C-alpha cells in the first residue's frame, strides 16, 4: 500500500509551509515535497509606488527579519538614485544591521536550534524548547537571553522607530543620527553582546562538541547535502553582512564566481514548479538540473554555513578563531553538514557583536552628516544584503520621477528552497524504512529543516508546548490511517 | 473555573504580529498563565480538525492577523468565527487590508504573470504556473486558491474588536488582553486605541503654523528632514491628520512621516478621502491650474493615502477593465 505523509503546517518559511512525503509499496520514501502555499504579489504591487517608499513597504514581506528587507531595499534605492550614503550614515546602517544579525542569530540558538542539542534530540518533545534549555543551562541564562534581545532591539528601535518594520533608511543616508549619550549606552550593549556571543559558543562547546554522539550526528550522512554555496564577502574575501561582492564556491570549495550584486541576473535564475507558490533558484550558468546534489547540481545554499564556506574567513579576530576551530572539527572546507549551520550561526553572531563594538567606538558615528541628497535622475538599481537566512536581492527600475516600473525580489529563504526540500527528503529516506513511521521521525524531519532557520524561529519554542507538527498517514484512497502528533 | 480558551491565527501576513506577541517577553508568560491557548500555528501543535471538534462558541477569543488572500484563510477564519465568542482583528492587515492589500491595484492574473513569467530572474520556458491541484509522478499535490482580491477580516466574517497597527504596539496589546480578561470591554466594533488623530498626540504639532499652507509637496528623499518640525509644514506628506493615534508616534520619533497604519478615527470611514479633504484645505492657491500643478507634485496619491487601507476603502480595488 502506498502511503502519503503530510506535515502541515511546519514553521514559517517566509510564510506558511507544508511537507508531503510519499512512500512506495515497500513503505520506503519515494519523494518528499516542501510546499509553500503562500504568495502575496509584492513584485507586482510595487509598481507605481515612489521608490523611496519601498524600504517602508517591503519589510512587510517578513516581520521576523524586516530589518534585512529594509536595508536591502534602502541600498537598492541608493543604487536607483546613484547616490552613496555619507560615511556616518553607512556606519549607522552597519550598526543597525550587525545589531539585528546578533539578536536574530543568538535567539535562534536558544529558542529554536539549541533545544535539539542542549536538551537532546531524543529528549521528550515537551522538554525540547526554551524552557528545557533553561532547565539544562540555568535560569539566570534565560534572563540574559531576554536582556540581550531587549537591548539589541532597543538599538534598532532608536534608529528605526519600530523594530518590527523600521523606517529610517533613505537614499544617501538615514533619517536619524546618533548622539553621544546613546553612543555610550549602546557601546555597553555591544560589549555585553560580545560576551554573550562568546558564552553561547561556550555552551555549544560544552554541550555539543564534548558529546561524541552529537558530533557524530553533526558529521553524519543523513544531514549532509553537497551543493554550491553563496555569500557576500569584503575585499579580503571575509564574511560581510551589509555589503561586498557575491562569491559562489563549488562543492569542492573552489571559487566558482564572484560578482557585483548588480550583475546577479547573469548568475542566478529561478525555476517554477506547479506544486508550490515558491520558486527554486539555481546557478544560471549551469542551468536547472533538478533536485539533485553533488558535482552535477546547480543548487546553491545560503545562510550561515554557506557564507562561511563561501568566504576565506571572518572579518573580526574572535570570530576568526572560532571559524578555524569549526573547520578543524568538521574536517575542512567546504563543510556540507547541514547541522553545522547552527554552529556557523553562533560564529556569525560573534562577528556581528564585535563589529557593533568597533562601530560604536568610532566617534564619527555621532557626526550629524547623515544624509546625502540625491541629485541624479533615478533609473535602476540592485540592493543586496546577507539576511540572517541568506543572500537577499532587491532590484527596482523606475521612471524619471522615481516611481517603480518593475521590481524583482529574491528573498533569503527562497534561495534555500530546493535545498530544504532535498534535506527533508534525505532525512526522511534515512529514517523511514518499511513503512515504519515513529515519533522519532517527527523530530528528525524537523531537524532537517531547522538549520535553515525557517522564518518564525523564535515563536516556535518560545512557549511551553511543541512544534506545530502533525503527521497524517493516508492510504491510497486518501483515508486517514494514522495520525502522529507531538503532545 | 477553567481558564478562557484563546486562539491565534495568521492569514496573509508577515509574521510581525506574531513577533509583537513574542516581544511581550516576560509579560507573555503572565498571559500564558491566565489563558489556555488552544490554537496557534506558529507556536503550538494544532490541526484544523481539532478546532472543528470544539463546541461552537467554546473559544473565548480568537486573535486573527493578516488579510484574506487565499481560500484556505477564508475557510479557517469562518471556522474560528463559529467556534469563538469574540474575534479580534489583530494588526493593520486584518483591520484594513494592510500592505498586502495594495495588491488590489492588480489581480491574480497580473500577479502570477509577474511572479512566474516576467520577473527577470525567472526562467520558465514551459510556462509552468502553480496549480491548485497537480499530479507529479502520479502523486497528487494541492495548493489553496489565490483570490483576485484581498479582503480585510470583517469583509469575510463578523469582527468584534480591532487592534490597529503594523505591528500593534506592546502597550495596546497588553491593554486589550487585560480588558478581555477582566471583561471590561467597550461596545462591539470598537477599535482598541484612543479615538483621536495622531496630530493630537504628536510633539511636532506645536510647530505647526496656525494657518498651514503648501505650495509644493516634497518627497522625503528630496530635503533634509527637520527632526522637530511638523512634516506637513515641511511640505512632506504625513498621514497624521487622517490617522488614529495610539502608536506612540514611533515613525515620527525616527524622523519619518506617518503612513497611516492605524487607520482612521471612528468618525471616518475612508482614510484616504479624509486625508484628501484635509489636504485640500492646505493647498495655497485659488487658481485651478496652479492647484493642479501643486497636486501633481504628490507622487502616488492612491498608494500613499491608502497605503494600509485600500481593501477597506470606498475604492476597494481597482477596476481591471480600466487598465486595459
Quick check: B47 pLDDT over 70? no
Same domain, B59 and B83: yes
Same domain, B296 and B207: yes
Residue with the three cell numbers 527632526? B227
Which residues in chain A are closer than 8 Å to B17, comparing Cβ atoms?
A: 63
- Give me the percent of chain B exceeding a pLDDT of 70: 96
**Could you say which residues from 210 to 249 on chain A have a Cβ atom under 8 Å away from some Cβ of chain B?**
none
Same domain, A18 and A71: no
Which DSSP helix (H) or strand (E) runs through B182?
Answer: helix B170-182
Residue B312 domain flag: no
Same domain, A473 and A346: no
Whether B13 and B153 have beta carbons less than 8 Å apart is answered as no
CB contact under 8 A, B128 and A274: yes
Q: Report the Cα–Cα distance between both ends of chain B, in Å, rounded.
A: 61
Residue A263 domain flag: yes
Residue A165 domain flag: yes
What backbone phi and psi angles, to 5 degrees, belong to B197? -85, 160
Residue A289 domain flag: yes
Calpha distance A184→B98 (Å, rounded): 38
Calpha distance B227→A32 (Å, rounded): 54
Buried b / exposed e along A371-403 (16+ C-beta atoms within 10 A): bbebeeebeebbbbbbbbbbbbbbbbbbeeebb
The pLDDT value given to residue A57: 96
- Give me the percent of chain A exceeding a pLDDT of 90: 62
Residue A108 domain flag: yes
- Among B34, B119, B135, B248, which would you mutate to test the A interface (most chain A Cβ atoms within 10 Å of its Cβ)? B119
Residue B318 domain flag: no
Phi-psi region of B156 (alpha: psi -120 to 50; beta: other; left: phi over 0): alpha
- Give me the percent of chain A exceeding a pLDDT of 70: 85
What sign does the CA torsion over B273, B275, B279, B281 have?
positive
Residue A305 domain flag: yes
Residue with the three cell numbers 534602502? A74
Which residues in chain A are closer than 8 Å to B37, comparing Cβ atoms?
A: 463, 465
Which of A11, A43, A175 has the CB atom closest to B115's CB atom? A43
Residue with the three cell numbers 502553480? B130
Residue A202: which residues within 8 A CB-CB, separation 6 or more? none
User: Average pLDDT for residues A97-106, to the nearest whole number?
Assistant: 94
Same domain, B86 and B50: yes
Number of domains in chain A: 2
The pLDDT value given to residue A472: 57
Same domain, B10 and B82: yes
Whether A38 and A277 have beta carbons less than 8 Å apart is answered as yes
Same domain, A459 and A354: no
The pLDDT value given to residue A1: 44
Whether B14 and A61 have beta carbons less than 8 Å apart is answered as yes
pLDDT-derived band at A49, boundaries 50, 70, 90: very high
Residue A319 domain flag: yes
Same domain, B126 and B171: no
What backbone phi and psi angles, to 5 degrees, belong to A114? -55, -45
Q: Is A81 on the interface with B (CB under 8 A)?
A: yes
Question: Cα distance from A431 to chain B (closest Cα, Å)?
Answer: 21
CB contact under 8 A, A40 and B69: yes
Check which CATH number belongs to the domain holding B156 and give it.
3.40.50.700
Quick check: A460 pLDDT over 50? no
User: Average pLDDT for residues A166-190, to the nearest whole number?
Assistant: 98
Within A147-227, strands assigned E span 169-170, 173-174
A273's grid cell? 514548479
Question: Cα distance from B31 to chain A (closest Cα, Å)?
Answer: 11
CB contact under 8 A, A284 and B166: no
CB contact under 8 A, A408 and B32: no
Secondary structure (3-state) at A285:
coil
A241 or B22, higher pLDDT: A241
pLDDT-derived band at A141, boundaries 50, 70, 90: confident
Which of A33, A45, A146 has the CB atom closest to B102's CB atom? A45
Same domain, B167 and B205: no
CB contact under 8 A, A456 and B224: no
Same domain, A337 and A358: yes
Question: Cα distance from B183 to chain A (closest Cα, Å)?
Answer: 25
Domain span at residue A20? Answer: 3-38+436-485
Domain span at residue B218? Answer: 198-305
CB contact under 8 A, A167 and B134: no
The pLDDT value given to residue A327: 97
The pLDDT value given to residue B151: 97
**Cα A137 to the center of its chain, rounded Å:** 25
Residue A205 domain flag: yes
CB contact under 8 A, B15 and A63: yes
Which residues in chain B are closer than 8 Å to A61, comparing Cβ atoms?
A: 14
Question: pLDDT tens for residues B212-256?
Answer: 899 999 999 999 999 999 999 999 999 999 999 999 999 999 999
Residue B59 domain flag: yes
Residue B270 domain flag: yes
Number of domains in chain B: 3
Question: pLDDT tens for residues A194-245?
Answer: 999 999 999 889 888 898 888 888 888 989 999 999 999 999 999 999 999 9
CB contact under 8 A, A277 and B250: no
Which residues in chain B are closer than 8 Å to A162, comparing Cβ atoms?
A: 167, 250-251, 254
pTM above 0.80, yes or no: yes
Same domain, B139 and B159: no
The pLDDT value given to residue A434: 80
Whether A396 and A378 have beta carbons less than 8 Å apart is answered as no
Same domain, A169 and A201: yes
Secondary structure (3-state) at B36:
strand
CB contact under 8 A, A465 and B45: yes
Arithmetic mean of pLDDT over chain A = 87
Arithmetic mean of pLDDT over chain B = 92
B280's grid cell? 485640500
B189's grid cell? 466594533
Q: Which of A205-209, A460-464, B97-101, B264-268 has the lowest mean pLDDT?
A: A460-464
The pLDDT value given to residue A124: 65
Same domain, B23 and B172: yes
Burial of B158 (C-beta count, 10 Å sphere; 0-12/13-18/19+): exposed
What backbone phi and psi angles, to 5 degrees, belong to A65? -125, 50
The pLDDT value given to residue A126: 59
Residue B191 domain flag: no
Which of B15, B120, B137 has the CB atom closest to A64's CB atom? B15
Other beta carbons within 10 Å of B99: 30
Check which CATH number belongs to the domain holding A108 and give it.
1.10.645.10
Same domain, A106 and A134: yes
Same domain, A339 and A465: no
Other beta carbons within 10 Å of A128: 25
- Among B133, B221, B298, B306, which would you mutate to test the A interface (most chain A Cβ atoms within 10 Å of its Cβ)? B221
**Between helices B26-34 and B170-182, what is the axis angle to 10°?**
20
Question: Cα distance from B107 to chain A (closest Cα, Å)?
Answer: 9
Residue B267: which residues within 8 A CB-CB, separation 6 or more? none
Question: pLDDT tens for residues A325-369?
Answer: 999 999 999 999 999 999 999 999 999 999 999 999 999 999 999
A26 or A136, higher pLDDT: A26
**Could you say which residues from 28 to 67 on chain A have a Cβ atom under 8 Å away from some Cβ of chain B?**
30-31, 33, 35, 37-41, 43-45, 47-50, 52-53, 56-57, 59-64, 66
Same domain, B71 and B175: yes
Same domain, B174 and B205: no
Same domain, B19 and B51: yes
Residue B319 domain flag: no
pLDDT-derived band at A138, boundaries 50, 70, 90: confident
Domain end call among A417, A447, A474 = A417
CB contact under 8 A, A57 and B70: no
Of the candidates B80, B15, B25, which has an alpha carbon nearest to the alpha carbon of residue B54?
B80
Same domain, B28 and B52: yes
Calpha distance A441→A447 (Å, rounded): 10
pLDDT-derived band at A22, boundaries 50, 70, 90: confident
Question: pLDDT tens for residues B55-108?
Answer: 999 999 999 999 999 998 999 999 999 999 999 999 999 999 999 999 999 999
Same domain, A242 and A316: yes
Question: Cα distance from A259 to chain B (closest Cα, Å)?
Answer: 16
Residue with the three cell numbers 524622523? B255
CB contact under 8 A, B43 and A20: no
Amino acid at each position: 500500500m502506498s502511503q502519503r505523509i503530510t506535515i502541515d503546517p511546519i514553521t514559517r518559511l517566509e510564510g506558511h509551509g507544508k511537507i508531503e512525503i510519499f512512500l512506495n509499496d515497500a513503505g520506503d520514501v519515494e519523494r518528499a515535497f516542501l510546499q509553500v502555499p503562500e504568495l502575496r504579489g509584492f513584485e507586482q504591487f510595487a509598481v507605481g509606488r515612489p521608490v523611496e517608499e519601498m524600504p517602508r513597504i517591503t519589510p512587510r514581506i517578513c516581520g521576523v527579519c524586516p530589518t534585512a528587507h529594509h536595508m536591502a531595499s534602502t541600498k537598492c534605492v541608493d543604487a536607483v538614485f546613484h547616490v552613496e550614503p555619507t560615511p556616518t550614515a553607512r556606519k549607522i546602517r552597519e550598526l543597525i544591521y550587525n545589531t539585528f544579525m546578533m539578536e536574530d542569530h543568538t535567539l535562534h540558538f536558544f529558542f529554536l536550534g539549541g533545544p535539539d542539542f542542549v536538551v537532546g534530540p531524543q529528549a521528550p518533545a515537551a522538554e525540547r524548547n526554551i524552557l528545557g534549555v533553561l532547565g539544562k543551562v540555568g535560569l539566570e541564562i534565560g534572563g540574559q537571553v531576554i536582556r540581550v534581545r531587549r537591548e539589541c532591539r532597543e538599538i534598532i528601535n532608536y534608529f528605526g522607530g519600530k523594530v518590527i518594520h523600521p523606517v529610517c533608511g533613505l537614499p544617501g543616508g538615514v533619517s536619524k543620527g546618533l548622539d553621544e549619550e546613546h553612543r555610550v549606552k549602546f557601546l555597553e550593549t555591544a560589549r555585553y553582546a560580545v560576551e554573550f556571543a562568546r558564552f553561547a559558543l561556550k555552551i555549544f562547546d560544552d554541550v555539543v562538541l564534548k558529546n561524541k554522539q552529537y558530533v557524530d550526528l553533526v558529521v553524519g550522512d543523513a544531514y549532509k547535502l553537497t551543493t554550491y554555496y553563496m555569500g557576500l564577502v569584503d575585499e579580503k574575501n571575509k564574511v560581510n553582512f551589509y555589503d561586498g561582492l557575491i562569491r559562489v564556491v563549488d562543492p569542492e570549495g573552489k571559487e566558482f564566481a564572484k560578482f557585483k550584486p548588480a550583475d546577479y541576473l547573469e548568475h542566478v535564475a529561478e525555476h517554477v514548479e506547479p506544486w508550490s507558490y515558491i520558486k527554486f533558484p539555481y546557478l544560471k550558468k549551469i542551468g536547472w538540473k533538478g533536485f539533485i546534489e553533488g558535482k552535477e547540481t546547480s543548487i546553491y545554499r545560503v545562510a550561515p554555513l554557506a557564507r562561511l564556506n563561501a568566504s576565506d574567513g571572518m572579518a573580526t579576530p574572535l570570530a576568526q578563531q572560532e571559524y578555524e576551530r569549526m573547520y578543524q572539527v568538521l574536517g575542512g572546507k567546504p563543510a556540507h553538514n547541514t547541522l553545522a549551520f547552527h554552529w556557523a550561526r553562533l560564529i556569525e553572531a560573534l562577528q556581528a557583536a564585535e563589529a557593533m563594538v568597533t562601530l560604536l567606538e568610532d566617534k564619527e558615528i555621532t557626526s550629524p552628516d547623515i544624509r546625502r541628497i540625491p541629485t541624479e535622475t533615478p533609473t535602476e538599481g540592485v540592493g543586496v544584503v546577507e539576511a540572517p537566512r541568506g543572500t537577499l536581492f532587491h532590484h527596482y527600475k523606475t521612471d524619471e520621477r522615481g516611481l517603480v516600473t518593475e521590481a524583482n525580489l529574491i528573498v533569503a529563504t527562497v534561495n534555500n528552497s530546493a535545498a530544504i526540500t532535498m534535506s527533508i527528503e534525505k532525512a526522511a529516506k534515512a529514517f523511514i524504512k518499511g513503512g515504519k513511521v515513529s515519533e522519532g521521525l517527527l523530530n528528525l524531519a524537523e531537524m532537517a529543516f531547522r538549520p535553515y532557520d525557517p522564518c518564525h524561529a523564535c515563536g516556535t519554542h518560545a512557549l511551553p508546548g511543541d512544534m506545530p507538527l502533525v503527521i497524517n498517514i493516508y492510504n491510497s484512497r486518501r483515508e486517514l490511517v494514522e495520525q502522529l502528533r507531538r503532545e | 473555573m477553567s481558564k478562557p480558551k484563546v486562539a491565534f491565527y495568521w492569514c496573509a501576513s508577515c509574521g510581525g504580529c506574531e513577533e509583537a506577541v513574542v516581544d511581550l517577553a516576560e509579560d507573555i508568560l503572565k498571559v500564558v498563565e491566565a489563558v489556555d491557548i488552544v490554537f496557534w500555528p506558529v507556536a503550538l501543535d494544532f490541526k484544523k480538525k481539532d478546532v472543528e471538534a470544539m463546541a461552537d462558541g467554546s473559544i473565548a477569543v480568537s486573535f486573527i492577523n493578516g488579510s484574506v488572500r487565499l481560500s484556505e484563510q477564508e475557510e479557517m477564519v469562518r471556522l474560528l468565527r463559529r467556534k469563538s465568542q469574540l474575534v479580534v482583528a489583530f494588526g493593520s492587515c486584518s483591520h484594513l487590508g494592510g500592505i498586502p492589500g495594495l495588491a488590489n491595484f492588480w489581480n491574480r492574473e497580473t500577479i502570477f504573470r509577474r511572479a512566474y513569467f516576467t520577473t527577470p530572474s525567472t526562467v520558465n520556458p514551459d510556462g509552468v504556473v502553480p496549480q491548485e491541484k497537480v499530479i507529479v509522478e502520479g502523486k497528487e499535490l494541492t495548493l489553496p486558491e489565490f483570490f483576485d482580491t484581498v479582503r480585510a477580516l470583517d469583509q469575510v466574517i463578523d469582527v468584534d474588536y480591532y487592534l490597529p497597527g503594523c505591528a500593534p504596539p506592546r502597550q495596546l496589546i497588553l491593554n486589550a488582553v487585560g480588558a478581555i480578561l477582566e471583561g471590561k470591554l467597550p461596545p462591539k466594533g470598537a477599535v482598541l486605541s484612543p479615538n483621536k488623530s495622531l496630530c493630537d498626540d504628536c510633539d511636532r504639532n506645536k510647530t505647526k503654523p496656525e494657518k498651514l499652507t503648501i505650495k509644493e509637496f516634497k518627497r522625503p528623499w528630496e530635503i533634509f528632514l527637520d527632526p522637530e518640525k511638523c512634516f506637513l509644514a515641511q511640505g512632506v506628506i504625513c498621514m497624521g491628520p487622517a490617522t488614529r493615534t495610539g502608536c506612540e508616534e514611533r515613525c515620527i520619533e525616527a524622523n519619518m512621516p506617518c503612513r497611516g497604519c492605524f487607520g482612521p478615527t471612528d468618525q471616518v470611514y475612508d482614510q484616504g478621502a479624509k486625508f484628501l479633504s484635509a489636504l485640500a484645505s492646505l493647498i495655497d492657491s485659488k487658481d485651478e491650474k496652479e492647484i493642479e500643478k501643486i497636486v501633481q507634485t504628490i507622487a502616488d496619491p492612491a498608494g500613499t493615502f491608502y497605503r494600509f487601507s485600500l481593501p477597506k476603502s470606498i475604492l476597494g480595488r481597482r477596476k481591471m477593465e480600466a487598465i486595459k
